[in-house]
Amino acid sequence: MASQPLQVAGVAVSPDHYIDGQRVASASRFALHSPIDQRLLGEVAEGEPAHVEAAIAAAERAFPAWAALTAAERQPYLDRFADEIGRRAEAFCLLESNDAGVLLSRMQHGVVPRAMQNIRWFAAHALGLQDRPIDTEQAHHRVRHDPAGVVVVITPWNAPLMLSTWKLGPALAAGNTCILKPPEWAPLTCSLLADAAHAAGLPPGVFNVVQGAGATTGAQLVADPRIARVSFTGSVPTAKRIAQAAGANLVPCSLELGGKSPFIVLEDADIDAAAATGALMYRNAGQVCLAGTRFLVHQRVGDRFVAAMRATVERLQVGDPREPSTEVGPIIHPRQVERVLGYIDRAVAGGAQLLWGGKPHPFGAQYVQPTMLTGLQQSDEIVQNEVFGPVLTLQTFAGDDEAVALANGTDYGLGGVCYGETTHATAVADRVRTGFIWINSFGIRDLAAPFGGIKRSGIGREGGDWSFEFFCDVKDVVVPK
């Protein structure tokens, strides 16, 4: 039996799981609070072992029929799924702004259109995957991309709707059936996704949502031998646990993890442009995996850069993410606020200097001032560890070799930014060991391009054909000539 929907910012949203095409309530629930003002948003279903079992069984039952469809036959279902997301656009925006603290303006102009595109684009792209031929003198090869089976999708709280659809789009388009385990600190847009899938007429069991904690519900899902793939975005410690559990069954995992990306400013950079982009790193209160959080600035332009960025940062509007003028919103959870402030305090106690910020922001309990620290050693924890808050570091360098050494001097390797004369910046960027890097820009993404990190930032690539290589069993059917 389904529970009464929660009412969040005037939007009705189910607190239940969605299994086999139906809402399933749970006797155990967990409380959900808004990061904006700590108000109770409601209680959400906690996954019990029987719910995980039911979701896996439903996804297994639905698999043969969904997998038997051609990509062209699946496309109308997925197009309708995207349409149904669009019909609920305002509700998605309000829910994620209230439960994750994401800027409402960002939801409206960035996240919801991208969520629709994630579903629609991969459904269209899957059409090109059918039966790729390779002809040799000896034989005719037909390379098939067969769906792998039941896929588990696990996403973090900083971008639940965007990241869930980014994985579900290709997984479903390839013919897999899916179980989504939403982040327990921001589960509401994932629940609404189930309404959109239901309204789109996705057959029961093709898409399931099991709410709950990572350590219990998530852990049970990824350890199940019936699972064909685990697609995970989140932190390094969780990824290690997931890789171990899935590895016990030799189940392939795609792991998109944290970052400590360099933001390099060369001597020949446009300093004002670099500073303006630099201030964007405080977006989503710094809770963005791909943000350039370590500023590496040529020593001859260090003072000019700091002055230009300070002027931009002073104008940043910190506040309620639902207000159109707000540029920096809250931090997701009191535990995360404590963690972020702890990093700042330990850095300052260790001799770092604050260029700006460094304190809780007076706007509210879960707000921290945009902060910049300098006077650091490469081995300092704040240079090495992902803070995941509005906290940046600044180091200077004397030449390209030193910039590259500092850029590569952490265990992470997700992304990067490099400002400078284009040929020069490109030459430096080529030497930086990350999964992607932006020259004189930030955040340009295309669904066809690969996305992912190296070193501790992850295993595998998502995007375009890379998503399908992961979600499919590639099979070569060989007929001799």
Interface positions with ligand NAD (CB under 6 A) = 154-159, 181, 183-184, 214-215, 218-219, 222, 233-235, 238, 241-242, 256-259, 289, 386, 388, 414, 453, 458
CA distance 280 to 413: 20
Nearer to ligand NAD, 319 or 415 (CB): 415
Q: Residue 331 is encoded by which pair of tokens?
A: 């931090």
Closer residue to ligand NAD in complex, CB, 92/232: 232
Using DSSP's 3-state secondary structure scheme, residue 405 falls into helix
CB of 138 to ligand NAD, least distance (A): 42
What's the min distance (Å) between Cβ of 22 and ligand NAD? Answer: 22
Which residue, 175 or 218, is less far from ligand NAD as judged by CB? Answer: 218
**Please, which residues bridge with residue 368 across strands?**
360
| Contacts of 306-309 spanning 24+ positions with Cβ under 8 A | 306/355, 306/372, 306/394, 308/271, 308/272, 308/274, 308/275, 309/275, 309/278, 309/279, 309/372
In the beta sheet, which residues pair with residue 413? 454
- Residue 117 or 235 having the CB closest to ligand NAD: 235
- Contact between 194 and 182 under an 8 Å Cβ cutoff? The reply is no
Q: How far is the CB of 75 from ligand NAD (least distance, A)?
A: 26
- Does the annotation mark 267 as catalytic? no
Could you give the 3-state DSSP secondary structure of residue 371?
strand
DSSP 182-194: --TTS-HHHHHHH
* Three-class secondary structure of residue 264 per DSSP: strand
Q: Minimum distance from CB of 116 to ligand NAD (Å)?
A: 19
Question: Which of these, 28, 20, 36, 34, lies nearest to 3 by C-alpha position?
Answer: 28
Identify the CA nearest to 179 among candidates 211, 202, 203, 156: 211
Q: Judged by CB, which is closer to ligand NAD: 156, or 420?
A: 156
Q: How far is it, in rounded angstroms, from Cα 44 to Cα 183?
A: 11
CB of 453 to ligand NAD, least distance (A): 6
For 232, phi and psi rounded to 5 degrees?
A: -125, 135
Residue nearest to ligand NAD (CB): 214
Name which of 233 and 395 has its Cβ closer to ligand NAD.
233
> Could you say which of 184, 256, 267, 462 is catalytic?
256
Record the tokens describing residue 380, joined without a space: 């300092």
> Toward ligand NAD, which CB reaches closer, 283 or 298?
283
CB 454 within 8 Å of CB 433: yes
State in angstroms the smallest separation of the CB of 410 from ligand NAD: 13
Residue 36's CB is within 10 A of a number of other CB atoms, namely: 23
In sequence order, what are the residues at sequence separation of 6 or more whose Cβ sits closer than 8 angstroms to the Cβ of residue 148? Answer: 174, 176, 228, 229, 471, 472, 473
CB of 402 to ligand NAD, least distance (A): 26
- Name the residue nearer to ligand NAD (CB basis): 239 or 297: 239
Assess contact for 235 and 247: CB atoms under 8 A. no
Report residue 375: phi and psi, to 5°. 70, 45
Minimal distance in Å, beta carbon 290 to ligand NAD?
A: 7
- Contact by Cβ (8 Å): 239, 232: yes
- Which residues form the catalytic set? 256
